[in-house]
Amino acid sequence: MASGFFALLDDIAAIMDDVAVMSKLAAKKTAGILGDDLAVNAEKASGFISSRELPVLWAIAKGSFINKVIILPIAFLLSAFLPIAVVIILVLGGLYLAYEGAEKIFEYFFPHEHFKHEISLEPLTEEQILAFEKDKIKSAIVTDFILSVEIVIIALGTVIGKPISSQIMVVTIIAIIATVGVYGIVALIVRMDEVGLKLMQLSSKEKSFSKTLGNILVQALPKVIKSLSVIGTIALLLVAGGIFVHNIDFLHGVLPQLPSIVTEFIVGLVIGGLVLGTVNLFKKIIGKK
């Protein structure tokens, strides 16, 4: 009886060792997309007044968790019974990401008229602030859903052929890391100024280390937030381009003379521009009618 119990413990330990090794491999495979996820979500979570940053980020994080709860069982079922559906979902998600990235670039060079009229020195009402938050949270959760699908599918691809129990454990671990890790880091980024102010208040000396570091953090936050907008846009196009290049056959060998990261960005930008043009044309047709 005792020997059977210890044999069971040995089996469990062996399984956990395998899961740890596979999780490490899956983490390496998804590192790039996790970095893109961080940049995109940090940009999405910025732009709010200080007191609303963490509540908004918490709302996005909860939406991200719900996304993972929806995606994981569907991914396991589709991978087992209808693998072609996984590719179709990835490509459709890539179209959305490419469209969003191309739209950001287009709006930078050609701002919408309604955006120009919205610029005002008057403070926003509470209703306007809540509406702004709601729209940005919704957009962030939709983008997170597509990035989460990509993360889950890449992680799942590293454990294909393994027992279903190992697949579930490994992919679930990666999904948890993608949620807790990414949004934890985003929370630190958006609260840099608060941390800086606290450090500045620790010492009354003008040239103390804490005051110098705090001042650096306070001054760096606007630059970080501004750069995240650019990085997030590039990340959207890179992720989209990577989806197209890896899942659409005739794009596999496109622009072989260029580094893969450049190729993926160009493909994402071109396809995003085509989708943006199609959407804008459709809007004009609907508007005329």
Q: Is 156 a residue whose pLDDT tops 50?
A: yes
73 pLDDT above the threshold of 80: yes
| pLDDT for residue 45 is more than 90 | no
Q: How confident is the model at residue 271 (pLDDT cuts 50, 70, 90)?
A: very high
Which pLDDT does position 278 carry in this prediction?
Answer: 94
Return the CA Rg of the chain: 22
The yes-or-no verdict on residue 141 having pLDDT over 70 is: yes
**Confidence label for 29 from pLDDT (cuts 50, 70 and 90):** low
The most confident of 2-16, 30-44, 54-68, 263-277, by mean pLDDT? 263-277
**pLDDT value of position 94:** 85
Distance between CA 239 and CA 230 in Å, rounded?
A: 14
Regarding predicted confidence, which is higher, 70 or 158? 70
Tokens linked to 142: 């939709």
Using alpha carbons only, give the angle 67, 71, 73 rounded to the nearest 5 degrees. Answer: 135
Residue 181 pLDDT greater than 60, yes or no:
yes
pLDDT of 202-251, one tens digit each?
777 777 778 888 888 888 877 877 777 787 788 888 888 888 888 888 88
- Whether this prediction's pTM lies above 0.85 is answered by no
Give me 110's structure tokens. Answer: 């050609």
H or E, element range at 120: none
- The set of long-range contacts for 54-62, using a CB threshold of 8 Å and a minimum separation of 24, is 54/187, 54/190, 54/191, 56/133, 56/136, 56/137, 57/183, 57/186, 57/187, 57/190, 59/137, 60/137, 60/140, 60/141, 60/144, 60/183, 61/179, 61/183
Using 50, 70 and 90 to split pLDDT, how confident is the model at 57? confident
The contacts of residue 239 (CB under 8 Å, 6+ apart) are 33, 36, 94, 97, 147, 150, 268
Whether 190 shows a pLDDT value over 70: the answer reads: yes
- Supply the mean pLDDT for the chain: 77
Tell me, what's the pLDDT at 263? 92
Cα-Cα-Cα-Cα torsion 172, 177, 183, 189, nearest 10 degrees, comes to -170
pLDDT band for position 30 (cuts 50, 70, 90): low
- For 232, residues 6+ apart whose C-beta sits below 8 A from its C-beta are 39, 40, 42, 43, 44
Tell me how far apart the alpha carbons of residues 99 and 274 are, in angstroms, rounded to a whole number: 8
Domain boundaries, the chain: 2-288
**pLDDT average, residue stretch 74-87:** 82
Tokens of 209: 């280390």
Q: How confident is the model at residue 279 (pLDDT cuts 50, 70, 90)?
A: very high
